[in-house]
Amino acid sequence: MDLGLKGKKAIVTGSTKGIGRRIVDLLADEGCDVGICSRDAEEVEAAVAELKKKGVNAVGGEVNVRDGDAYKAWLETTAEQLGGCDIFIPNVSAGGGMDSEKNWWKNFEIDVLGTVRGVETLMPHLEKSDAASVVVISSTNAVEFFVGPMAYNAMKAALLNYAKQLSQFVAAKNIRVNSITPGPVYFEGGAWEMIEGTMPDFYKATLKQIPSRRMGSPEEIARVTVFVASPAASVLQGANVVADNGFTKRVQY
Amino acid sequence: MRRNVKDTIVRDYGKLDELRDVKVPRVRPEDSPETPAGKAPDPELGTDTIAHARYYDHEFMKLEWERIWTRVWLLACREDDIPEPGDYVVTEMGPESVLVVRQEDGGVKAFYNVCQHRGNRLRGPGIGSAKTFKCAYHHWEYRLDGSFENIPDLETFPQGAPCRGLEEMRCDTWGSFVWYSFNPEVEPLLDFLDPIPQHLAPYNFDRMALTRDVTIEWDCNWKTSVDAFNESYHVQGIHPQLLWYLDDYNIQIDCYERHNRYLIPFATISPRVKLPPDVPPAIKAIMQEAGMDPADYDGKIKDLRVNIQKFKRKHGADQGKDYSRLNDDQLTDDYHYLIFPNITLNIHADDLMLFRQRPHPTDPDRMYFDVQTYELIPDGEEWPERPEHGQFKHGDKSIGLVLDQDAFNLPTVQQGMHSRGYRGLWIGNQELRIRHFHKVIDDYIYGPDGKPPGAL
């Protein structure tokens, strides 16, 4: 099956490590030019160099997505450097935590506004594309109880709603918008590796809720995400793909 | 209920492919006005194995008693355990019991806790207050300074009263603590402790309040316990959660004449694991303790330690915490000292965790592990009441996850010491302090001529 990604331009935020990194790796493998970012300039530089080895154009920048102006400027520059933008995957997240009200601001600014600002900034480029696709990254925390009343959970739920509303709103412009809802994803340098080491009881209890006793890998989430983002998934519009190894138990009506 | 600490270990962190390349920013020696921060030259201690019989041999235990315990200065208590005249502490050391008494003039004296009549102990272990010390047997009575107050029916002793009352021993104070020595010829306390007083004065331990005071009976030799805290190599083996809390690999080890230390960067991520995406839970606790909101942290994970240092430097004074004598690293890191032979100090700007390792009176396979935690009380805040001393056997109660993990292997290590198949302690560079500790033991036991061939 040809995903139809060759020559397309994709921008993915938070993309030097973990899920974001595997997404850009796979996009590049499929012949996409990619724009990446993270908070760490050295990591960006190293990732760009490796992506270029795949024979595609890769550009990257150090940016804090929380800083709206800097973020928008980076998006503009990146779209310009790539010569457009067909695919946008706002992947970066502030993560979980119930430390203070600041968690709410942080998840709002990074998870929600990081997505909204990205879509709005890149809209002129997406409108011009013949394969425009936005894939929003949510979480199973958005659809089932997890830990407690975390801002992370609520903001990931806001993203699901936003993606659905947006999908109808821009459908006429031939822009597809879909969501991925990953369950727990394990990788070195990921939150679950730290939880495994620092809160082994919680880690093991979570693993028990997964029928296969196995968390997802960035590779697995990336494969689903890249497919959903690709022209091969042209029939998907406003879908939410739950990619969780059976972690959630509800019926997807 | 005590958890099985084995359950806390999910992965093998010592088998990871490679260490992350970490350059720990360390304070420059010239930026550390009081506590020396520079690396001391490593002593040449060779690579020989250390004899495991040292950990169970009764003859060696006897040598330790005769040539170490009765020769050095030993920690008795805190000065504020006995604030008023007549307040006293009884502390046990091996076969002896020591009575430490606050004097009318504010000074402190230490005595063998033994009545000169028929040898009864005057008081049981613990803290108390007395006007005089009256033996519970025939009511021989001693004043706070050890002299006789009363001997019932003195006229029936044709030899009269003993010329002296209680047997006094050397006693002195440093760093808010009271020290004693069985050795009448012992060097002055400050000479014995050198260079510890210079290193640790800036912490002002007298501003810290005791918040925990427990003794656990451990089934191991006292040195097995000292060794357990004299290296950070075990972190990857038994404390996986600490890999997201401290750098167990890039430590600085400094050995002095008889004491030693290592400096462990805290509030950072071990090079054995990748940088996590979020602030680890235990570092969040450090931040909250310092008045920082982890949710408001916008810096990088790898800069957490330095950013916490900066925050504490900036806001400490507002919080009534005077850090002015400490260097930046001391605001986060564990300055970890061994005061020979048996005092382990985990020292932080805001707290001190003190371990005192005491030998069993007769059994080299047993010991007493005293844990005391002290916390810096901000200026103007009321001090908490002194906690009651608790004593129990290993495994009866949790002493916190990290110490439970530390304690877990000690009985089986001690059993292994007895094995005919064990060839002795195979010590690496990360364990240099253990080698140094045993070298100082040799110095005390064998003297300037060194260890004779074949000796333990």
- The region of weakest confidence among A75-79, A142-146, B12-16 is B12-16
Q: Is the pLDDT of residue A216 over 90?
A: yes
Nearest by CB to residue A95, choosing from B11, B275, B278, is B278
pTM of the model: 0.94
Q: Name every chain A residue with its beta carbon within 8 A of the beta carbon of B288.
A: 99
Q: How confident is the model at residue A253 (pLDDT cuts 50, 70, 90)?
A: confident
> A interface mutation test: which of B3, B20, B241, B246 has the most A CBs within 10 A?
B241
Residues 251-310 of B with CB under 8 A from A: 273-282, 284, 288, 293-296, 298, 300
Distance from C-alpha of B432 to C-alpha of B41, rounded to nearest angstrom: 12
| Predicted local confidence at residue A106, as pLDDT | 96
B129 touching A (Cβ < 8 Å): no
The arithmetic mean of pLDDT across residues A192-211, rounded, is: 96
Q: Where are the domains of chain B?
A: 5-62+206-449, 74-185
If one compares B5 and B412, the residue with the highest pLDDT of the two is B412
Q: Where are the domains of chain A?
A: 9-186+217-241
Q: Is the pLDDT of residue B314 over 50?
A: yes
Distance from C-alpha of B220 to C-alpha of B406, rounded to nearest angstrom: 12
Q: Is the pLDDT of residue B3 over 60?
A: no
CB pairs A-B closer than 8 Å: 77
| Predicted local confidence at residue A252, as pLDDT | 82
Q: How confident is the model at residue B267 (pLDDT cuts 50, 70, 90)?
A: very high
The arithmetic mean of pLDDT across residues B340-361, rounded, is: 98
Q: How confident is the model at residue B15 (pLDDT cuts 50, 70, 90)?
A: confident
Instruction: Answer for the pair B230, B261: CB distance below 8 angstroms, yes or no.
Output: no
Pick from B317, B266, B318, B265: which is nearest to B287 by CA?
B266
| Pairing of the two strands A133-137 and B108-112 | unpaired
Class of the domain covering A9-186+217-241: alpha beta
The arithmetic mean of pLDDT across residues A48-53, rounded, is: 98
Instruction: Answer for the pair A129, A86: CB distance below 8 angstroms, yes or no.
Output: yes
Instruction: Answer for the pair B305, B265: CB distance below 8 angstroms, yes or no.
Output: yes
ipTM confidence: 0.92
Q: Is the pLDDT of residue A196 over 60?
A: yes
B13 touching A (Cβ < 8 Å): yes
- In sequence order, the 6+-apart residues with CB closer than 8 A to the CB of B70 are B182, B183
Instruction: Answer for the pair B50, B148: CB distance below 8 angstroms, yes or no.
Output: no
Token pair belonging to A97: 């935590």
| Predicted local confidence at residue B367, as pLDDT | 98
| Pairing of the two strands B343-347 and A133-137 | unpaired
* Measured torsion, CA atoms of residues A22, B282, B245, B426, in degrees rounded to the nearest 10: -120
Identity of the residue numbered B409: N
Instruction: Answer for the pair A137, A114: CB distance below 8 angstroms, yes or no.
Output: no
Instruction: Answer for the pair B56, B155: CB distance below 8 angstroms, yes or no.
Output: no
| Predicted local confidence at residue A179, as pLDDT | 98
Helix or strand run (H / E) with residue B356: strand B351-359
Which CATH architecture best describes the domain B5-62+206-449? Alpha-Beta Complex (3.90)
| Pairing of the two strands B148-150 and B141-142 | antiparallel
Q: Is the pLDDT of residue B135 over 90?
A: yes
Nearest by CB to residue A39, choosing from B241, B276, B300, is B300
Question: In sequence order, what E strands does B70-207 have?
Answer: 74-78, 87-93, 96-102, 108-112, 126-129, 133-134, 141-142, 148-150, 168-174, 177-181
The arithmetic mean of pLDDT across residues B210-233, rounded, is: 98
Greatest CA separation found in chain B?
84
A213 touching B (Cβ < 8 Å): no
Distance from C-alpha of A17 to C-alpha of A40, rounded to nearest angstrom: 11
Residue B395 per-residue DSSP state? T
Q: How confident is the model at residue B1 (pLDDT cuts 50, 70, 90)?
A: very low
| Predicted local confidence at residue B9, as pLDDT | 64
Pick from B121, B310, A91: which is nearest to B133 by CA?
B121
Report how far apart, in Å, the C-alpha atoms of B403 and of each of B20, B227, B397 are: 27, 14, 11
Q: Name every chain A residue with its beta carbon within 8 A of the beta carbon of B296.
A: 100, 102, 106
The answer to whether the CB atoms of A17 and B277 lie below 8 A apart is: yes
Report how far apart, in Å, the C-alpha atoms of A79 and of each of A27, A39, A86 are: 16, 19, 9
| Pairing of the two strands B108-112 and B96-102 | antiparallel
Surface-to-core class of residue A201, CB atoms within 10 Å of its CB (0-12 exposed, 13-18 middle, 19+ buried) = exposed
Pick from B81, B68, B72, B70: which is nearest to B177 by CA?
B81
| Predicted local confidence at residue B64, as pLDDT | 98
Q: Is the pLDDT of residue B243 over 60?
A: yes
- Give the minimum alpha-carbon distance from B425 to chain A in angstroms, rounded to a whole number: 29
> A interface mutation test: which of B21, B235, B298, B303 has the most A CBs within 10 A?
B298
| Predicted local confidence at residue B4, as pLDDT | 65
Distance from C-alpha of A72 to C-alpha of A15, rounded to nearest angstrom: 17
Identity of the residue numbered A204: K
Instruction: Answer for the pair B220, B366: CB distance below 8 angstroms, yes or no.
Output: yes
Pick from A104, A114, A108, A109: which is nearest to A14 by CA?
A114
Instruction: Answer for the pair B104, B89: CB distance below 8 angstroms, yes or no.
Output: no
Distance from C-alpha of B278 to C-alpha of B261, rounded to nearest angstrom: 31
Q: B74-185 has which fold?
A: Rieske Iron-sulfur Protein (2.102.10)
Identity of the residue numbered B212: R
| Predicted local confidence at residue B33, as pLDDT | 87
| Predicted local confidence at residue B8, as pLDDT | 66
Distance from C-alpha of B101 to C-alpha of B88, rounded to nearest angstrom: 4
Q: Is the pLDDT of residue B2 over 70?
A: no
Token pair belonging to B404: 């439970």
The arithmetic mean of pLDDT across residues B158-187, rounded, is: 97
A128 touching B (Cβ < 8 Å): no
- First-to-final CA distance of chain B: 40
Q: Is the pLDDT of residue B195 over 60?
A: yes
Distance from C-alpha of B79 to C-alpha of B127, rounded to nearest angstrom: 12
Cis peptide bond prior to B195, omega within 30° of 0: yes
Percent of chain B exceeding pLDDT 90 equals 94
- In sequence order, the 6+-apart residues with CB closer than 8 A to the CB of A184 are A140, A192, A206, A210, A215, A216, A244, A247
